[in-house]
Structure 1
Amino acid sequence: MSTGPAGHVARSTRIPNSETIRRTPLRTFLHTDDGVTIDSVYDPGSAVYDASAPSAVDLVFVLAHGFTGDVDKPHVRRVVEAFAQYGAVVSFSFRGHGASGGRSTVGDKEVLDLAAAVRWARSLGHARVATVGFSMGGSVVLRHAALHRAGGADGSGREGRTDAGTDAVVSVSAPARWYYRGTAPMRKLHWLVTRPEGRLVGRYGFGTRIHHREWNPVPLSPVEAVPRIAPTPLLIVHGDRDGYFPVDHPRMLAAAAGEHGELWLEGGMGHAEHAATDELLARIGNWAVGRAG
């Protein structure tokens, strides 16, 4: 395996199969386009060696965690283990989280982190990529898919997806719009992000280093990003008991997606990774196997 400029791993042209695909986990630091180091883990999963699941051989899930999560948190590892039944998994810590460098911009520059992880996933030989994000990560996968489409982010104008592009998108518990303060948990989160004392709590209480600068310019909102994702398959998942973002958020996203999007409004579900049941994760895994093609 060779590395290119800025630490990017060179993309392999090899088509993976049960003999050639990597069989052991791998951990490394990636470098984003703006020079931030991103702690990343590759889990080959179990489905890639199962002869009864040949369609999963070339599929890799790239997992984007929620705010204050990281690649080693138990709730993130649980999701990794669930998706490993359906393909390989690349997980990583967003900037400002865990062992990654930089500071969190709470969904703005994190698109660069996801793009680096997707490029790495493709460099390992996987032909199909499904990005799955939770909460903040859910907003990031939407914006990433809108920006990294055919002839899009890299300005090449080439047909087909760029190396940082995705083949299917799953957004779980994501906001539809920025600056939402309509629930108590979101008012607390805004205090954490915008106040100096809040950022201290973020650093020492949650292990999350938050940037002090406000967005300038304000990034494309999730609901504005969604129409730009087509024709890439899109799944929006949300709980009807989400304490952060009520159900008008997923409904706005689904309306913006139109016919190319699919909405699962889950009865009794709360927010993000902690609320996702094993049964729901299995359904998401099956959906990705069927759509990322």
Structure 2
Amino acid sequence: METTASAATHRRVGRLRRMAISATATLIMLLVTIYLGISTYAASVVTLPQRDAIVSTPADFGARFDEVRFPARGGDVEIAGWYLPQPETSRAVILVHGKDSSRSTEFQGRFSEFAAQLHKRGFAVVMIDLRGHGASGDARFSFGLAERRDILGAVDWLITQGFRPGSIGVLGVSMGAASAIGATAEEPAIGALVADCSYADIRPLMERHWTKASGLPDIFLPSTLFMGRFVLGMDLTTAQPVREIDDIAPRPVLIIHGDADAFTPVDHGRALAAAAPEAEYWEVPGAGHARSYEVDPQRYVERVANFFAHHLGR
């Protein structure tokens, strides 16, 4: 009897153990599924850009402009822009806004003012909306990996308008600056670059802002980046302008960064400058993120205009 009872007890314990293992495995699979599901959703949501309404145009500051549209290089999306023609010059500058901004709203709504100032100093100007922003075609943002093709599309368009390689400059702000670094490294027709408050490497910036941007704890960042490869078809962590900027040499680069930038700390600007020892570096005292123009508009315009005037082919 004791042997029979012991065997029965042993079988019951075995069944309970198997049930516990099965329940644990099911729970783990459920948690992994939920974890990956949330990560996939987060990858989908956090890569959707915001579209800003137009707050001003170059005409508000005395500059005539034309509405233009052209394909990004590769033809995957149509880019909207404003073209400020300048018959007296053979030099053009492409202005590129940052994430969740536009050709109108960058520089706290003063991008048109800045463009008009460059125009008055003798430059033709193209102001573009990056993909997924403003009036350009729908797309997710990729921290400059795809957006560089929007800038290259603007370069291609300017060449069709008669501008020669080497006579085209680019000024980018924030993600626009990171995109511009990649575009300039890739395209020798770009004669000079101004990069304002670019990140050096997107990964530490993601880690810095992840919880605020997504509403999720840090544990979801690695899986969201992993699932982002399927959502976007690219690895966002490869957005590393610091690895590309030295490829621009010997063409001139001006790096601008505010020392009070709380979004992309000034260490990023210093890292870019260290990676490109031939570049000019201008650290603006008291300037926050994308606010160097706001701190001293006249000095900003003079510094940028003189840089392009000196380096772009006539």
How does the TM-score come out when normalised to structure 1?
Answer: 0.71
Post-superposition shift, 1:99?
Answer: 1.2
Unmatched runs of 5 consecutive residues or more in structure 1: 1-22, 50-56, 150-164, 195-210
1:188 Cα shift? Answer: 6.1
CA contact (8 A) 2:201 2:239 kept: no
Q: Does 1:246 align with 2:281?
A: no
Please, which runs of 5 or more residues in structure 2 have no aligned partner? 1-62, 218-229
SS of structure 1 residue aligned to 2:193:
strand
Residue 283 of structure 1 is matched in structure 2 by 303
1:51-62 to structure 2, matched below 5 A, reads: 57-62=89-94
Q: 2:252–2:279: 8 Å Cα contact kept in structure 1?
A: yes
> What is aligned with 1:133?
172
1:165-196 CA-to-partner distances (Å, cap 9, x unmatched) read: 30000000100111224896x346742899xx
Q: Who is 1:261 aligned against?
A: 279
- Partner amino acid, structure 2, of 1:271: H
**Distance in 1 (alpha carbons) for counterparts of 2:236 and 2:207:** 25
* RMSD of aligned alpha carbons: 2.8
Structure 1 residue 31: Cα displacement: 1.0
1:191 counterpart residue number: 214
CA distance in 1 between counterparts of 2:291 and 2:211 reads 19
Equivalent residue of 2:81, what SS?
A: strand
CA contact (8 A) 1:69 1:76 kept: no
1:270 to 288, 296, 314: 288
Equivalent pairs counted in the alignment come to 230
Which is higher, the Rg of structure 1 or of structure 2?
Answer: 2
Q: Which residue of 1 aligns with 2:67?
A: 27
| 1:110 counterpart (116, 132, 147) | 147
**1:92 to 2:114 alignment:** no
1:79 maps to 2:114: yes
Calculate percent identity across the aligned residue pairs. 28
Pick closer, same or farther for the CA change 1:143–1:82 going to 2, 3 Å.
same
- Name 1:198's counterpart in structure 2: none
SS at match of 1:245: coil
CA deviation string 1:37-78 (max 9, x = no partner): 111110125xx54xxxxxxx1111101111111123333212
Aligned partner letter, 1:30: F
Say if 2:254 and 2:279, in contact at 8 Å, map to a contact too: yes
1:43 partnered with 2:84: yes
Change (3 A) 1:283 1:217: closer
3-state SS of paired residue (2:287): coil
1:65 aligns with 97
> Distance in 1 between the 2:266 and 2:179 partners?
19
Contact 1:76-1:273 at 8 Å conserved across structures: no
- The CA deviation string for residues 111-135 of structure 1, in whole angstroms up to 9 with x for no partner, is 1100001111222222311100000
C-alpha separation between the residues in 2 aligned to 1:82 and 1:24?
A: 12
The CA deviation at 1:102 is 2.2
Which amino acid is 2:290 matched to? A
